[in-house]
Amino acid sequence: ADTVSGAALFKANCAQCHVGGGNLVNRAKTLKKEALEKYNMYSAKAIIAQVTHGKGAMPAFGIRLKAEQIENVAAYVLEQADNGWKK
């Protein structure tokens, strides 16, 4: 997966609600490693499913983004979670 592409896609599609790995809609369910682990989202497979199909307040992006793009976003999210969202 291409995390550089994932970063650009994240900025364009996700940062409105998830800036800096946070969550402006549901503050408990951030993209930080601890929250991803707590809510069983700390895997590319889980993130890809959530981004593709949406859940709750989060819209589905499977119509707007290609599978490869969603894989890149998932790789970027995991990379950032592992690095504490410092970049």
Q: Which CATH class is domain 3-83?
A: mainly alpha
Binding residues: 14, 17-18, 58
Per-residue pLDDT band for 86 (boundaries 50, 70, 90) equals: confident
pTM: 0.96
pLDDT of amino acid 87: 61
Binding residues for heme c: 14, 17-18, 58
Quick one: residue 20, left, alpha or beta (phi over 0 = left, psi -120 to 50 = alpha)?
left
User: Is the predicted pLDDT of residue 11 greater than 90, yes or no?
Assistant: yes
State pLDDT tens for residues 12-28.
999 999 999 999 999 99
- The 8-class DSSP code of residue 56 comes to T
